[in-house]
Structure 1
Amino acid sequence: MAAQQRIIAHFDLDAFFVSVECLNNPSLKGKPLLVGGRERGVVAACSYEARKFGIHSAMPMKTALRLCPQAIVTNNSRSDYSKYSRIVTNIIAEKAPLFEKASIDEFYLDLTGMEKYFQPYQWTIDLRQEIIDKTGLPISFALASNKMVAKIATDQAKPNGYLHIPFGKEKEYLAPLTVNKIPGVGEHTYENLKALGIFTIRDLSEQSPDMLEKRLGKYGIELWNKSQGIHHGEVTPYHEAKSISTENTFEENLTDVNQIMTELVHMTERVAYELRQDNKTSGCITVKIRYPDFETTSKQTSIPYTFYDDELIPKAKELFHKLWRKGHPVRLLGVRLSELTDEAVQTNLFTDTEKKNGLYKAIDDVKNRFGKYAITKATGK
């Protein structure tokens, strides 16, 4: 019996960070807009007007401003990126039988079997319109028989459009596109392929698999399969991990605020370390306090997705000071990180993340070798 033909939709919010900035400040619409940090940051996103100057995401901000000195740099709405991502996720979760959240602004939906009850293409069009109506954000999608073709087609559908690549038409659709449209084909591979006279996906599809394997190893076979429109990647069901938490009941009630802050910092470091080990980021932090009379209070706040100690610790301190009945002894202290997702680092493109990631990797390597308490931060109120 032949395997059931898959129906895969790929949704991608257009220039997501830029769109949120424009939603919050409509005067930015139609202008060359760069989202990121002005000093040593990189371009997290740029408007289509800025792209005309050759600017692209992950470009150093200084380079982008040389290409377009009149560009506007902003990240005023940074705290809203996570919020809008959650709204879109919830809309999709309510409707889709199976979906994968690939990043903060990108989703795969497996609609296989739905054709028995609905017309999948029209259903997907309606879902896109619901997202636009409820958020005001532009979003593009493509429907195809596999994740790779759907993703490529979504890029072609942008901005704010949609495409359907019927089953059996994958190879024909891909043929005229340049070979670097295949996900995973970076600049180095693209140059190697061009050196072999391979410029389009059709050129790639007409090569001998043996030759490609000889020149590119096993990756050559993988590329040849992709050029035929073949891709077997599964849509991984989205399950948001509930939380990572720690709490400590003290042998003696704590009254000294400096000692309490030291404990709070160490606890926040501990859960942030666990978060990084799981390669997760958190969108919500909660602090819990219990007093000697067993009265227990807690307070939480939404945060831009992160797994960095230096972004989580100030939030933990802020929540503690809002909660704490000043001068009252503390019996128990707790810190919890929730709304966990795999959107690692994506919303942290506003700082020098490569250097920062390197620093945290070095810290975690020491902790992995000598124990999670081997390095701790100095603390204060």
Structure 2
Amino acid sequence: MAQRWIMHVDMDAFFASVEQLDNPELRGRPVMVGGEHRGVVSAASYEARKFGVHSAMPVAQAKRLCPNGVLVRGRMARYKELSSMVMEVIHGFSPVVEQTSVDEAYVDVSGTERLYGSVEEVARALKTGVQEATGLTCSVGVAPVKFLAKIASDQNKPDGITIIRPEEVQGFLETLPVGRIPGVGPKARVTLARWGVTTVGDVLKRSRAFWERRMGERGLVFYDRAQGIDPSGIVAHGAPKSSSAETTLSDDISDKRELSRWLMVQAERVGHDLRRHGLRGRTVTLKLKYSDFKSITRSRTLPTPTDSTDTIYEVGMDLLAAERLERAVRLIGVGISNFGEVASQLSLLGGDTGDDPERRRLDSAIDAIRDKFGGKALSRGKVFGLKDKK
């Protein structure tokens, strides 16, 4: 029976690395991605981490720790765009992929040695593919089971590869801090320390019955993990059901003209994502979150599917125009769904999508320029004057 190999791919400081990729002036500098007026740090470059800055830290605290750090507002649409490219590379190595966040995924590479060579060669080929496609680095962990693959990917960051072979599992776990096991948080570590458990090896000094008495079903899972046992497999997700982009604004906005500019930025992101994946949708949805955090959505279903940036924007604008803004808006987004059979059949048969041919040619030209020269190479007039586009 072939050896089972699970790989965990984790992008290195993803959000901050994207900002350094797109802006060469940020390379080598401590970069913190987060809100200027509110919120927390969502990502920190490795240069910023040397000062103790980490994700989920309040921005004010991060500034005190790293006064020379560069604070950059996040651009989730851009991160999703590059994430999509990363996942395309990963899917090229195996169809069994579980994306767990925008910057990480598990992939079952069992048996791929026949195509790519040893498991080390598979990991190196995947890393090379990601870097060539995006200009970014990732770290890879490979192990016989899922939870160990995730631990391994964090062993040699950034840009590292760690492989835990079956015969190495027990030795690796013996001295591993117990907090490294996924799901063992700070409170659990305090409790375990009272029982004399600080490493995974300490877990096995107690019986299986002890852990069941103390922790119930979770205790049995915990005991299994200490032995390197993890029956969970890769949960491969199906085809996407929607595509969307949204922006949390640094300042609340009441002016619909200003909001319309953000809608165009988002429509461009969504349209480009659809065209990259050969998808067309019929239902356009506008999302608004007010300053009091109340959220609303408004949708309209088109008679024929579309992937046109202008069509998505115009429907989003109609929905916005019809909305009587209760108060200032702190978040705005647009998305498209309902990819069903109508869209796929029209695409397959080359049928009319309802979009103006001129619009399709314009979208194709803009996509080609941006794919070659970068997302900032070209801007539509409707977004002129808008700073810090996401």
What is the TM-score of this pair, normalised by structure 1? 0.65
Q: Which range moved further: 152-161 or 169-178?
A: 169-178
- Equivalent in the alignment of 2:179: 180
Q: Tell me: CA distance 1:315–1:231, structure 2 relative to 1, closer, same or farther (3 Å).
A: farther
- SS, match of residue 196 in structure 2: coil
Structure 1 pair 207/56, CA: closer, same or farther in 2 (3 Å)? farther
Deviations 1:168-205 (A, max 9, x none): 21121122221111111111111111122211111123
- How far apart are 1:82 and its partner, in Å? 0.7
Normalized against structure 2, the TM-score is what?
Answer: 0.63
Residue aligning to 1:128: 127
Residue identity opposite 2:67 in structure 1: P
Residues 126-164 of structure 1: per-residue CA shift (max 9 Å, x gap): 111111122110101011101111100101121111011
Q: CA deviation at 1:19?
A: 0.7
Correspondence list, 1:1-381, <5 A = 5-75=3-73, 77-117=75-115, 118-243=117-242, 298=306, 300-301=308-309, 316-317=316-317, 336-337=336-337
- 1:116 Cα deviation from its structure 2 partner: 4.6
Residue 11 of structure 1: how far off its partner (Å): 0.5
User: CA 1:289–1:5 in structure 2 vs 1: closer, same or farther (change >3 Å)?
Assistant: closer
In 1, distance between residues paired with 2:314 and 2:300? 12
> What do residues 353-375 of structure 1 show as CA deviations (whole Å, max 9, x unaligned)?
xxxxxxxxxxxxxxxxxxxxxxx
Say if 1:150 and 1:338 are closer, same or farther in 2 by CA, change over 3 A: farther
Deviation readout 1:308-336 (Å, 9 max, x if unpaired)? xxxx9998228999xxxxxxxxxxxxx83
Output the CA distance in 2 between the equivalents of 1:54 and 1:211: 38
How many corresponding residue pairs? Answer: 280
* Residue deviations 1:93-139 (CA, integer Å, cap 9, x gap): 22323211111111111122334554232122111111112211010
Instruction: Mark the runs of 5 or more structure 2 residues left unpaired by the alignment.
Output: 245-259, 261-282, 289-297, 322-334, 340-390
Instruction: Measure, in 2, the Cα distance between the counterparts of 1:81 and 1:183.
Output: 25
- Equivalents in 1 of 2:320, 2:302: separation in Å? 8
State percent identity of aligned pairs: 36
Q: In 1, Cα distance between the equivalents of 2:43 and 2:123?
A: 26
Could you tell which deviates more after superposition, 155-164 or 47-56? 47-56
> Could you say what the CA RMSD is over the residues aligned between the two structures, in angstroms?
3.5
More RCO (CA 8 Å, sep 6+): 1
Give, as a single letter, the amino acid of the residue that structure 1 aligns with 2:316: A
Query: What letter matches 1:75 in structure 2?
Result: R
Q: Distance in 2 between matches of 1:297 and 1:120?
A: 43
- In 1, the alpha carbon distance for the partners of 2:127 and 2:299 equals 33
Q: In 2, Cα distance between the equivalents of 1:161 and 1:33?
A: 21
- Is the 1:287–1:298 contact (alpha carbons within 8 Å) kept by the matching residues of 2? no
CA distance in 2, matches of 1:318, 1:76: 27
Deviation at 1:18, TM superposition (A): 0.7
Which piece of structure 1 moves more, 134-143 or 119-128?
119-128
